[in-house]
Amino acid sequence: MKKLFGVIGDPISHSMSPVMHNDLFMVYGIDAHYHPFHVKRGDLGAAVQGLKAINCSGFNVTVPHKTEIMTFLDEIDPLAEAIGAVNTVVHEEGKLIGYNTDGHGFLEGLKRKFTVSDSTKVLIIGAGGAAKAIFYSMAHAGVKHIDFCNRTAEKAAQLIESCPFTVQSNIYTREEAEKRLSSYNLIIQTTSVGMSPNIDDSPLSLENLGTGAFVSDIIYNPLETAILRDAKRRGAGTQNGLDMFVFQGALAFEKWTGIFPDTVRMKQNVLKHLGGKKC
Protein backbone atom coordinates (compact mmCIF):
# COMPACT_ATOMS: atom_id res chain seq x y z
CA MET A 1 0.00 0.00 0.00
CA LYS A 2 1.20 3.51 -0.79
CA LYS A 3 2.81 5.14 2.23
CA LEU A 4 1.83 8.64 3.32
CA PHE A 5 4.25 11.34 4.50
CA GLY A 6 3.72 15.07 4.90
CA VAL A 7 4.44 18.39 6.52
CA ILE A 8 2.24 20.26 9.00
CA GLY A 9 2.39 24.02 9.46
CA ASP A 10 0.59 27.35 9.15
CA PRO A 11 1.11 28.75 6.52
CA ILE A 12 2.07 25.72 4.44
CA SER A 13 1.25 26.42 0.78
CA HIS A 14 4.74 27.91 0.21
CA SER A 15 6.56 24.78 1.41
CA MET A 16 9.13 23.28 -0.96
CA SER A 17 9.23 20.02 1.01
CA PRO A 18 6.52 18.24 -1.05
CA VAL A 19 8.39 18.96 -4.31
CA MET A 20 11.64 17.74 -2.77
CA HIS A 21 10.37 14.53 -1.16
CA ASN A 22 7.95 13.43 -3.91
CA ASP A 23 10.81 13.66 -6.42
CA LEU A 24 12.97 11.49 -4.12
CA PHE A 25 10.22 8.85 -3.76
CA MET A 26 10.05 8.68 -7.55
CA VAL A 27 13.85 8.49 -7.97
CA TYR A 28 14.30 5.73 -5.38
CA GLY A 29 11.22 3.77 -6.53
CA ILE A 30 9.40 4.14 -3.20
CA ASP A 31 5.60 3.88 -3.36
CA ALA A 32 4.83 6.90 -1.20
CA HIS A 33 3.34 10.39 -1.32
CA TYR A 34 4.28 13.53 0.66
CA HIS A 35 1.46 16.01 1.28
CA PRO A 36 1.35 19.55 2.77
CA PHE A 37 -1.22 19.73 5.60
CA HIS A 38 -2.47 23.15 6.73
CA VAL A 39 -2.79 22.80 10.51
CA LYS A 40 -3.73 25.80 12.65
CA ARG A 41 -2.40 26.28 16.19
CA GLY A 42 -5.46 25.03 18.09
CA ASP A 43 -5.82 21.98 15.83
CA LEU A 44 -2.38 20.46 16.38
CA GLY A 45 -3.39 17.72 18.84
CA ALA A 46 -6.29 16.54 16.67
CA ALA A 47 -4.12 16.65 13.54
CA VAL A 48 -1.37 14.54 15.11
CA GLN A 49 -3.88 12.04 16.45
CA GLY A 50 -5.45 11.85 12.98
CA LEU A 51 -2.12 11.33 11.23
CA LYS A 52 -1.30 8.52 13.66
CA ALA A 53 -4.74 6.93 13.22
CA ILE A 54 -4.53 6.85 9.42
CA ASN A 55 -1.03 5.35 9.74
CA CYS A 56 0.92 8.26 8.24
CA SER A 57 4.53 6.95 8.13
CA GLY A 58 6.20 10.21 9.05
CA PHE A 59 5.96 13.96 8.77
CA ASN A 60 7.85 17.22 9.02
CA VAL A 61 6.78 19.95 11.39
CA THR A 62 7.20 23.62 10.63
CA VAL A 63 6.21 27.03 11.99
CA PRO A 64 4.38 27.46 14.41
CA HIS A 65 4.30 23.88 15.73
CA LYS A 66 7.95 22.87 16.27
CA THR A 67 7.82 23.19 20.06
CA GLU A 68 4.19 22.38 20.84
CA ILE A 69 4.37 19.14 18.81
CA MET A 70 6.60 17.69 21.53
CA THR A 71 3.65 17.26 23.89
CA PHE A 72 1.91 14.96 21.38
CA LEU A 73 4.79 12.55 20.68
CA ASP A 74 5.61 9.19 22.28
CA GLU A 75 9.41 9.63 22.26
CA ILE A 76 11.82 12.48 21.59
CA ASP A 77 15.44 12.20 20.53
CA PRO A 78 17.77 13.69 23.22
CA LEU A 79 19.22 16.40 20.91
CA ALA A 80 15.70 17.50 19.86
CA GLU A 81 14.71 17.47 23.53
CA ALA A 82 17.67 19.72 24.38
CA ILE A 83 16.89 22.07 21.48
CA GLY A 84 13.24 22.11 22.52
CA ALA A 85 11.98 21.72 18.95
CA VAL A 86 11.06 18.88 16.60
CA ASN A 87 10.98 19.19 12.81
CA THR A 88 10.80 15.50 11.86
CA VAL A 89 8.51 12.75 13.16
CA VAL A 90 8.90 9.04 12.44
CA HIS A 91 5.92 6.71 12.96
CA GLU A 92 7.45 3.41 13.98
CA GLU A 93 5.77 0.38 15.56
CA GLY A 94 2.82 2.47 16.67
CA LYS A 95 4.99 5.20 18.22
CA LEU A 96 5.57 8.77 17.06
CA ILE A 97 9.25 9.65 17.55
CA GLY A 98 10.46 13.25 17.21
CA TYR A 99 13.83 14.44 15.91
CA ASN A 100 15.41 17.77 15.02
CA THR A 101 17.33 17.67 11.74
CA ASP A 102 17.63 21.48 11.36
CA GLY A 103 20.91 21.98 13.24
CA HIS A 104 22.45 18.73 11.98
CA GLY A 105 21.28 19.65 8.47
CA PHE A 106 22.99 23.01 8.76
CA LEU A 107 26.24 21.32 9.84
CA GLU A 108 26.10 18.70 7.06
CA GLY A 109 25.59 21.43 4.46
CA LEU A 110 28.35 23.56 5.96
CA LYS A 111 30.82 20.64 6.02
CA ARG A 112 30.73 20.50 2.21
CA LYS A 113 32.00 24.09 1.99
CA PHE A 114 33.89 24.92 5.18
CA THR A 115 36.02 22.78 7.50
CA VAL A 116 35.09 23.25 11.13
CA SER A 117 37.96 22.41 13.48
CA ASP A 118 38.68 22.58 17.22
CA SER A 119 40.04 26.08 16.82
CA THR A 120 37.17 27.49 14.74
CA LYS A 121 35.71 30.63 16.32
CA VAL A 122 32.04 31.12 15.45
CA LEU A 123 29.81 34.17 15.67
CA ILE A 124 26.05 33.54 15.46
CA ILE A 125 23.90 36.55 14.60
CA GLY A 126 20.45 36.05 16.16
CA ALA A 127 19.18 33.96 19.07
CA GLY A 128 15.81 32.58 17.91
CA GLY A 129 14.72 29.00 17.19
CA ALA A 130 17.03 28.47 14.22
CA ALA A 131 20.02 29.88 16.11
CA LYS A 132 19.30 27.52 18.99
CA ALA A 133 19.18 24.41 16.76
CA ILE A 134 22.45 25.42 15.07
CA PHE A 135 24.16 26.40 18.35
CA TYR A 136 23.28 23.18 20.18
CA SER A 137 24.12 20.98 17.18
CA MET A 138 27.52 22.67 16.80
CA ALA A 139 28.26 22.43 20.52
CA HIS A 140 27.09 18.79 20.46
CA ALA A 141 29.47 18.17 17.54
CA GLY A 142 32.37 19.57 19.59
CA VAL A 143 32.74 23.16 18.39
CA LYS A 144 34.33 24.92 21.35
CA HIS A 145 33.86 28.63 20.83
CA ILE A 146 30.53 30.12 19.71
CA ASP A 147 29.70 33.77 20.43
CA PHE A 148 26.42 35.62 19.88
CA CYS A 149 25.31 38.97 18.61
CA ASN A 150 21.56 39.52 19.02
CA ARG A 151 19.27 42.54 19.15
CA THR A 152 17.94 41.25 22.50
CA ALA A 153 20.96 40.18 24.58
CA GLU A 154 18.74 38.43 27.12
CA LYS A 155 17.58 35.87 24.53
CA ALA A 156 21.18 34.96 23.71
CA ALA A 157 21.92 34.67 27.44
CA GLN A 158 19.03 32.20 27.81
CA LEU A 159 20.34 30.05 24.94
CA ILE A 160 23.81 29.91 26.45
CA GLU A 161 22.54 29.22 29.95
CA SER A 162 20.31 26.35 28.87
CA CYS A 163 22.87 24.70 26.57
CA PRO A 164 23.62 21.21 27.94
CA PHE A 165 26.88 20.87 25.97
CA THR A 166 30.31 22.26 26.85
CA VAL A 167 31.02 25.41 24.87
CA GLN A 168 32.58 28.79 25.48
CA SER A 169 30.24 31.68 24.60
CA ASN A 170 30.11 35.46 24.93
CA ILE A 171 27.42 37.93 23.94
CA TYR A 172 28.27 41.11 22.04
CA THR A 173 26.27 44.09 20.90
CA ARG A 174 26.23 44.81 17.18
CA GLU A 175 28.90 47.51 17.63
CA GLU A 176 31.15 45.24 19.70
CA ALA A 177 30.76 42.35 17.25
CA GLU A 178 31.58 44.61 14.30
CA LYS A 179 34.74 45.81 16.04
CA ARG A 180 36.04 42.34 16.88
CA LEU A 181 34.84 40.64 13.69
CA SER A 182 38.36 39.73 12.53
CA SER A 183 38.64 37.22 15.41
CA TYR A 184 35.99 34.94 13.84
CA ASN A 185 36.49 32.24 11.21
CA LEU A 186 32.80 31.55 10.71
CA ILE A 187 29.85 33.95 10.84
CA ILE A 188 26.33 32.47 10.80
CA GLN A 189 23.41 34.81 10.10
CA THR A 190 20.15 33.39 11.52
CA THR A 191 17.85 36.43 11.81
CA SER A 192 15.20 37.43 9.28
CA VAL A 193 17.15 40.61 8.44
CA GLY A 194 17.77 40.71 4.68
CA MET A 195 14.86 38.44 3.82
CA SER A 196 12.65 39.44 0.89
CA PRO A 197 11.26 42.10 0.50
CA ASN A 198 13.88 43.92 2.69
CA ILE A 199 16.74 42.65 0.58
CA ASP A 200 19.11 45.55 1.21
CA ASP A 201 19.08 45.22 5.02
CA SER A 202 22.06 43.69 6.78
CA PRO A 203 22.37 42.85 10.50
CA LEU A 204 26.13 43.53 10.66
CA SER A 205 28.82 45.49 8.85
CA LEU A 206 31.60 43.22 7.59
CA GLU A 207 34.19 45.98 7.43
CA ASN A 208 36.51 44.14 9.84
CA LEU A 209 35.97 40.65 8.39
CA GLY A 210 39.11 38.53 8.77
CA THR A 211 41.04 36.96 5.91
CA GLY A 212 39.78 33.45 5.15
CA ALA A 213 36.54 33.93 7.07
CA PHE A 214 33.37 32.18 5.87
CA VAL A 215 29.89 33.72 6.02
CA SER A 216 26.73 31.58 6.08
CA ASP A 217 23.19 32.95 5.95
CA ILE A 218 20.24 30.64 6.61
CA ILE A 219 17.97 32.79 4.41
CA TYR A 220 17.32 31.48 0.87
CA ASN A 221 14.87 34.12 -0.32
CA PRO A 222 16.74 35.94 -1.77
CA LEU A 223 19.47 33.41 -2.59
CA GLU A 224 22.06 36.12 -2.01
CA THR A 225 21.31 38.46 0.93
CA ALA A 226 23.02 41.83 1.41
CA ILE A 227 25.41 40.36 3.99
CA LEU A 228 26.42 37.57 1.59
CA ARG A 229 26.93 40.08 -1.24
CA ASP A 230 29.13 42.11 1.10
CA ALA A 231 31.08 39.01 2.19
CA LYS A 232 31.66 37.95 -1.42
CA ARG A 233 32.86 41.42 -2.35
CA ARG A 234 35.44 41.13 0.43
CA GLY A 235 36.64 37.79 -0.92
CA ALA A 236 35.06 35.58 1.75
CA GLY A 237 33.54 32.15 1.14
CA THR A 238 29.73 32.19 1.43
CA GLN A 239 26.74 29.89 1.68
CA ASN A 240 23.01 30.62 1.57
CA GLY A 241 20.20 28.83 3.40
CA LEU A 242 19.39 26.40 0.63
CA ASP A 243 21.95 23.87 1.90
CA MET A 244 20.42 23.83 5.39
CA PHE A 245 16.95 23.34 3.91
CA VAL A 246 18.11 20.54 1.60
CA PHE A 247 20.16 18.72 4.24
CA GLN A 248 17.47 18.89 6.96
CA GLY A 249 15.19 17.29 4.34
CA ALA A 250 17.81 14.69 3.38
CA LEU A 251 18.27 13.68 7.03
CA ALA A 252 14.49 13.40 7.47
CA PHE A 253 14.25 11.28 4.30
CA GLU A 254 17.01 9.02 5.67
CA LYS A 255 15.12 8.56 8.95
CA TRP A 256 11.96 7.54 7.05
CA THR A 257 13.52 5.33 4.38
CA GLY A 258 17.07 4.39 5.45
CA ILE A 259 18.38 6.06 2.28
CA PHE A 260 20.56 9.17 2.40
CA PRO A 261 19.42 10.84 -0.83
CA ASP A 262 21.22 12.70 -3.61
CA THR A 263 21.46 16.23 -2.17
CA VAL A 264 22.77 17.73 -5.44
CA ARG A 265 19.59 16.58 -7.18
CA MET A 266 17.48 17.89 -4.28
CA LYS A 267 19.10 21.31 -4.47
CA GLN A 268 18.67 21.51 -8.27
CA ASN A 269 15.04 20.50 -7.91
CA VAL A 270 14.31 23.15 -5.26
CA LEU A 271 16.14 25.82 -7.27
CA LYS A 272 14.07 24.93 -10.35
CA HIS A 273 10.84 25.40 -8.38
CA LEU A 274 11.92 28.47 -6.43
CA GLY A 275 11.66 30.58 -9.57
CA GLY A 276 7.89 30.42 -9.59
CA LYS A 277 7.20 30.35 -5.85
CA LYS A 278 7.70 32.50 -2.80
CA CYS A 279 9.69 30.70 -0.13
Q: Which residues are annotated as a binding site for NADP(+)?
A: 126-130, 150-155, 218, 241
Enumerate the known binding-site residues: 15-17, 62, 87, 102, 126-130, 150-155, 218, 220, 241, 248
- We find the least distance from the C-beta atom of residue 204 to ligand ATR, in angstroms, to be 10
Q: State phi, psi for 149 to the nearest 5 degrees.
A: -135, 115
Q: State phi, psi for 178 to the nearest 5 degrees.
A: -65, -40
Size of the site for ligand ATR (CB under 6 A): 15
Q: 3 to 62, contacts with ligand ATR by CB under 6 A?
A: none
Q: 132 to 151, contacts with ligand ATR by CB under 6 A?
A: 150-151
Identity of the residue, 63 or 264, whose beta carbon is nearer to ligand ATR in the bound complex: 63
Chosen residue from 58, 126, 241, 249 binding ligand ATR by CB under 6 A: 126
- Bridge partners (DSSP) of residue 59 are 6, 89
Identity of the residue, 204 or 209, whose beta carbon is nearer to ligand ATR in the bound complex: 204
- We find the least distance from the C-beta atom of residue 66 to ligand ATR, in angstroms, to be 8
Q: 180 to 209, contacts with ligand ATR by CB under 6 A?
A: 190-193, 203
- We find the least distance from the C-beta atom of residue 99 to ligand ATR, in angstroms, to be 17
Identity of the residue, 35 or 174, whose beta carbon is nearer to ligand ATR in the bound complex: 174
83 makes contact with ligand ATR (CB under 6 A): no
- We find the least distance from the C-beta atom of residue 247 to ligand ATR, in angstroms, to be 17
Angle between the 242-257 and 102-111 helix axes, to the nearest 10 degrees? 110
Stretch that binds ligand ATR, among 17-25, 33-41, 124-132, 258-266 (CB under 6 A): 124-132
8 Å CB contact between 204 and 179: no
- Following CA atoms 203, 209, 212, 217 in sequence, which dihedral angle do they give, to the nearest 10 degrees? 0
Q: Known catalytic residue: 66?
A: yes
Q: State phi, psi for 87 to the nearest 5 degrees.
A: -120, -5
Sort 157 into a burial class: Cβ within 10 Å, 0-12 / 13-18 / 19+. middle
Residues marked active site are found at: 66
Residues at the contact surface with ligand ATR, assessed by CB under 6 A: 126-131, 150-152, 155, 190-193, 203
